[in-house]
Amino acid sequence: MKLKHLTLSAMFLALGLVLPFVTMQVPQIGSMLLPMHLPVFLCGMVCGPWWGLLVGALCPLLRHLLFQMPPLVSAVPMAFELAAYGLVSSLLFARFKEKDTKAVYLSLIPAMIVGRLVWGLVQIVLFSLRGNAFTMQAFLAGALTTAIPGIILQLILIPLLIKALKRYL
């Protein structure tokens, strides 16, 4: 089981590194689709909390080290956000006996909220270290307004992908 989770986690990490190249072909909407988030949520729900946390934390940092994207100032808060996604979605999803669409949504939506709050808290800390303020307007723009296409994509794709993966795992 550990080898299976290690292998799947490596695959989800690789997807998190590659998917942004696909979505960035249309720069105006590419980043709004939140391509690294999808494999992290899937990893958490399929492999468990520690794998989800690890893949979530590593994905933006490793992508920054390999490709200099996202910039480090974005990669650090994203690492905390994605780690929260992987951890929280997994812990909630594990509580359901039936791994159905309802369980996916009841795990996914709270994890999305927690992850965005974690991102905001990290931004507050980082901004204050630089002597700046992280405003509510900046939080809403970064966590919600510009993320709406990605949120919709996650709400559509993740339940479908979990349903498809459930057959083979």
pLDDT tens-place string over residues 96-136: 999 999 999 999 999 999 999 999 999 999 998 998 888 88
Lowest mean pLDDT among 5-14, 88-97, 141-150: 141-150
Cα distance between residue 169 and residue 162, in whole Å? 10
Per residue in 51-61, pLDDT tens?
A: 999 999 999 99
Q: What are the structure tokens assigned to 104, written together?
A: 């996916």
| Structural element, H or E, at residue 93 | helix 72-94
pTM for the structure as a whole: 0.94
Per residue in 140-158, pLDDT tens?
A: 888 888 889 999 999 999 9
- pLDDT at position 145 is 83
Please tell me the class of the 34-168 domain: mainly alpha
